[in-house]
Amino acid sequence: MIIGRLTGTIAAMGLDHVLIDVNGVGYVCQAGTRLLSRVHAGETAVLHVETKVTEAAITLYAFGTDEERAWFVRLQDVHGVAGKAAMAILDALTPAELMDAIALGDARVLERAKGVGKKLAERIVLDLSGKAPPMGRFGRFDAASAAGMATAPAAAATTGPRSEAISALVNLGYTQGDAARAVAAAASTTDDKEVGPLVKAALKELSR
């Protein structure tokens, strides 16, 4: 059985985990500081979960958005990045910041994460550069976020439109790397984060 999402009441919180009560059953999930800062004991929450099964244990990793969960999985495609390091990176960077760092080749940004040194940061950027951003478990990212956040949409900081803009540019014949860099640059210069305006701004970047 793979658990992908839990909706229930936050029963207790620790330094690196959260206990969520779902219809009388308590699930202990590993959680980063980003999620722990958004939820509160006694409140209802929706947790997006990645289940890791080993011979020794079944571990649940919880996130406030499906996008954070997807990046948690993608980061572990890189040799040397395990669950602890991936969680630390997502505590230090939002998915949007992570996507931009990879697209722009800025490994120093990843060094903000606890336990991530220069060599590992450079390997992450090198290995993930030019690859399509991760998708949600069933395609587009679920907009639902963890309860208890005062500004859930802002906290989610979804990169969905960016991913779609990159895909649109790739379909026009640009490479994944060029498209990602152009969209990252466009996102920093325009306040409109919808797909259409991002594509137009990115095309201007590519024409320079």
Total structural domains within the chain: 3
User: Confidence band (pLDDT; 50, 70, 90) for 191?
Assistant: low
Q: Is 139 a member of any domain?
A: no
| Token couple for 154 | 């802002």
> Residue 28 belongs to a domain with what CATH number?
2.40.50.140
The reply to whether 123 and 71 lie within a common domain is yes
Q: What are the start-end ranges of the H helices in 76-175?
A: 83-92, 95-104, 107-110, 118-128, 152-156, 160-171
pLDDT reported for residue 159: 61
pLDDT reported for residue 145: 47
- State pLDDT tens for residues 8-25: 999 999 999 999 999 999
User: Confidence band (pLDDT; 50, 70, 90) for 68?
Assistant: very high
Structural contact between residues 169 and 183, judged by C-beta atoms closer than 8 angstroms:
yes
Q: Which residues contact 65 (CB under 8 A, 6 or more apart)?
A: 48, 95, 141, 142, 145, 146, 156, 158
- State pLDDT tens for residues 95-123: 988 988 898 888 999 999 999 999 999 99
Structural contact between residues 93 and 116, judged by C-beta atoms closer than 8 angstroms:
no
Structural contact between residues 49 and 4, judged by C-beta atoms closer than 8 angstroms:
yes
The domain in which residue 59 lies consists of 5-63
- State pLDDT tens for residues 148-159: 443 343 334 456
Q: Is 138 a member of any domain?
A: no
pLDDT higher than 80, residue 163: no
> Residue 117 belongs to a domain with what CATH number?
1.10.150.20
